Amino acid sequence: MENVKIVGCGYARASSKIENEALKKAVDTSDEWIQTRTGIASRYISETENTSDLAIRASQKAIQNAQINTSQISMIIVATCTPDNVTPSVACIVQEALGLNDKPVMAFDINAACSGFLFALQCAASMLQKGYALVIGAETLSKILDWSDRNTCVLFGDGAGAVLIQRAQDGSTMDFYARSKGDKEHALYCAGRSLQPDLENVAQDKPYLSMNGREVFRFAIQAMPDAIYGVLQGQPVEEIDLMIPHQANIRILEYVSKKMKFPMEKMFVNLDQFGNTSAASVPIALAQAWEEHKIKENMDLVLVGFGAGFTWAACKIHIEGGKHQ
């Protein structure tokens, strides 16, 4: 258990809203086909902004929401599997954009795919000593999508979400649970650059994301309950006031809801608007719930995610005394 609390949230949409009907130009699909299988009606695709640009916008909104001085930020962690570059990190780009280059800030990226934000939040909560930690999930998945593959291109979108946390003196707490295992069958996979033989550069094709939907579904419906029960540590699930799950597929959420006897009405769902934004999924949903005043004092909140790797994780947040003012 960590005595930390969220003091501000923000999120950023990518520039172009793509509704299901528009995808008929790229693949053999329809709005009905996509919605009945996934629950997704639209997603946002970035045309001019990279991952760092979305991360910066989400961070600025979180800072404005928290009403803090940026000079008090001592840590920036960005969860992403679609960074701007191999190096420098997105986190360092965000640091520069926020005018923090001359401040004592620790900034780095992590990649745990769709669980990445929860992994990053756990890292920040355990390492934070003073000031504020800025924790971001940001993705431009559109740049690794094969727009001729309807198994993937209909599912994913771009976006970013950010939170600011600080050490809590009011009884607010966070508990964490995180696990991983190797995906030996490459059920959810995007290749990197290959080795260069004989001291020569070799022209390489752009890698695209591939997915075995059946295997990912099978993994997800086991991983989500494991993470939820793991973080609750015996606390009855019915005592949870609000659950914010990774927004991958409505069928996964409905299955978990039924299996755990946890009502869908207590799950915050926005995948119909955003699709699957990987590491950005949970923080975008969290920021929306915060914006819509669904997060209140004396509330027990669970964030839960699963993703490529395979990875899965959950965070239970007890909010004491309401939102930061």
Q: Are strands 210-211 and 299-307 parallel, antiparallel or unpaired?
A: unpaired
* Cβ atoms of 105 and 75 closer than 8 Å: yes
Burial class (CB in 10 A: 0-12, 13-18, 19+), 72: middle
Measured CA distances, 77 to 51, 72, 110 (Å): 13, 15, 7
Among residues 9, 81, 92, 114, which one is catalytic?
114
Among residues 65, 111, 123, 246, which one is catalytic?
246
* Cβ atoms of 307 and 246 closer than 8 Å: yes
Concerning whether 293 is annotated as a catalytic residue, the answer is: no
Measured CA distances, 310 to 56, 180, 298 (Å): 28, 5, 33
Using the 8-state DSSP alphabet, how is residue 64 labeled? H
* Cβ atoms of 82 and 89 closer than 8 Å: no
Task: Name the strand (E) or helix (H) holding 147.
Answer: none
- The single residue listed with the structure tokens 């640009």 is 53
* Cβ atoms of 22 and 124 closer than 8 Å: no
- Nearest in space to 54 (alpha carbons), one of 92, 87, 84, 21: 84
Concerning whether 276 is annotated as a catalytic residue, the answer is: yes
The span from the CA of 103 to the CA of 71, in Å, is 7
Cα 11 versus chain centre, distance: 11
Burial class (CB in 10 A: 0-12, 13-18, 19+), 41: middle
Among residues 50, 276, 315, 324, which one is catalytic?
276
Torsion angle, alpha carbons of 265, 268, 273, 278, to 10: -140
Concerning whether 186 is annotated as a catalytic residue, the answer is: no
Structure tokens at 236: 């009855």
Active site residues: 114, 246, 276
